[in-house]
């Protein structure tokens, strides 16, 4: 996870490694980021057909690193091209408290509540330090965004939300997600914080690199088929 304090020597080494990789890319035609260091190829990844590149953020409202990451990913989302299909996936990791908030996020999506409710939830938990410990309290929070409390509660406990949680848990296992925040590009590449990526800007730069690589591959395949 990012947010962990690394020794100065490790950070300097990571910075030199990133700089060295970039120089090699410019001088020898090598790529600026390396598989197994800056990102990881997902075993048995399935190709996602279409003319967009899917990017998923795996997060939890109760993850402090995710709270720190959100302003970065929100800014990134405002600048992405139309061919990126961005999705947020709430993780549970077997924790009842994380499942409660995953259920809340999915319910808000199903009810088409404003996207602004997402960052507002982060702020409530991490800036205002107001933890909601029941579904009823969480429903009260979403009322300010136009939700009917009883409808929110019934939706949150519906088969549809249960099914989404099970699907997302399987996705977490299939993609090898072990920490948050993590990003997955095109169902093929996993990116998360490490000593090789000492900032959230660096993490998102790798995501951009992988998106462009995947998009160019898609265009090549489409061109060959014409």
Q: Per-residue b/e over 104-143, b at no fewer than 16 CB within 10 Å?
A: bbbbbbebebeeebbebbbebbbeeeeebeebeebbebbe
Mean pLDDT, the chain, whole residue set: 87
Do 65 and 137 lie in a common domain? no
- Mean pLDDT of all residues in 191-203: 91
Interacting residues of 147 by C-beta distance below 8 A, sequence separation 6+: 108, 111, 113, 139
Kindly tell me if the per-residue pLDDT of 177 is higher than 60: yes
Whole-model pTM: value is: 0.84
Do 49 and 143 lie in a common domain? no
What does the pLDDT read at residue 40?
Answer: 96
Kindly tell me if the per-residue pLDDT of 3 is higher than 90: no
Q: Is the preceding peptide bond at 39 cis, omega within 30 degrees of 0?
A: no
What does the pLDDT read at residue 91?
Answer: 98
Do 66 and 104 lie in a common domain? no
The larger pLDDT score, comparing residue 26 to residue 65, is at 65
What does the pLDDT read at residue 113?
Answer: 98
Do 46 and 70 lie in a common domain? yes
Kindly tell me if the per-residue pLDDT of 103 is higher than 50: yes
Do 60 and 100 lie in a common domain? no
The larger pLDDT score, comparing residue 144 to residue 32, is at 144
Helix axes 96-110, 135-143, angle to 10 degrees: 30
Q: 34 - beta bridge partners?
A: none
Q: What is the pLDDT of residues 44-97, one digit of tens each?
A: 887 777 789 999 999 999 999 999 999 999 999 999 999 999 999 999 999 999
Kindly tell me if the per-residue pLDDT of 1 is higher than 80: no
Do 9 and 85 lie in a common domain? yes
- Mean pLDDT of all residues in 157-171: 97
Give 198's pLDDT tier (boundaries 50, 70, 90): confident
Give 220's pLDDT tier (boundaries 50, 70, 90): confident
Do 210 and 147 lie in a common domain? no
Do 15 and 40 lie in a common domain? yes
What does the pLDDT read at residue 31?
Answer: 64
Question: Which CATH number belongs to the domain containing residue 99 in this structure?
Answer: 3.40.30.10
**CB-CB contact of 45 with 187 (8 Å):** yes
Structural domain including 212 reads 1-91+177-226
Do 53 and 132 lie in a common domain? no
Give 196's pLDDT tier (boundaries 50, 70, 90): confident
Classified as helix, coil or strand, 223 is helix
Instruction: Give DSSP secondary structure letters for 138-192.
Output: HHHHHHTTT--HHHHHHHHTSHHHHHHHHHHHHHHHHTT--SSSEEEETTTEEEE
- What is the CB neighbour count within 10 angstroms for residue 181? 28
Domain count, the chain: 2
């Amino acid at each position: 996870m990012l947010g962990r304090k690394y020794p100065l020597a490790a950070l300097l080494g990571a910075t030199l490694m990133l700089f060295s990789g970039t120089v090699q890319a410019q001088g020898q035609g090598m790529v600026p980021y390396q598989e197994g260091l800056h990102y990881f190829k997902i075993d048995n990844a399935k190709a996602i057909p279409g003319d967009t590149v899917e990017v998923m953020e795996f997060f939890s409202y109760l993850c402090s690193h995710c709270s720190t990451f959100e302003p970065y990913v929100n800014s990134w989302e405002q600048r992405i091209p139309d061919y990126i299909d961005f999705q947020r996936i709430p993780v549970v990791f077997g924790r009842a408290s994380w499942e409660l908030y995953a259920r809340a996020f999915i319910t808000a999506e199903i009810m088409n509540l404003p996207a602004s409710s997402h960052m507002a939830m982060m702020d409530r938990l991490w800036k205002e330090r107001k933890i909601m410990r029941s579904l009823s309290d969480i429903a009260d929070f979403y009322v300010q965004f136009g939700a009917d409390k009883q409808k929110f509660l019934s939706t949150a406990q519906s088969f549809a939300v249960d099914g989404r949680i099970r699907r997302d848990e399987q996705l977490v296992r299939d993609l090898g997600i072990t920490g948050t925040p993590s990003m997955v590009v095109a169902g093929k590449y996993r990116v998360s914080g490490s000593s090789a990526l000492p900032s959230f800007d660096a993490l998102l730069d790798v995501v951009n690199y992988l998106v462009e690589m995947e998009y160019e591959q898609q265009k090549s395949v489409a061109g060959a088929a014409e």
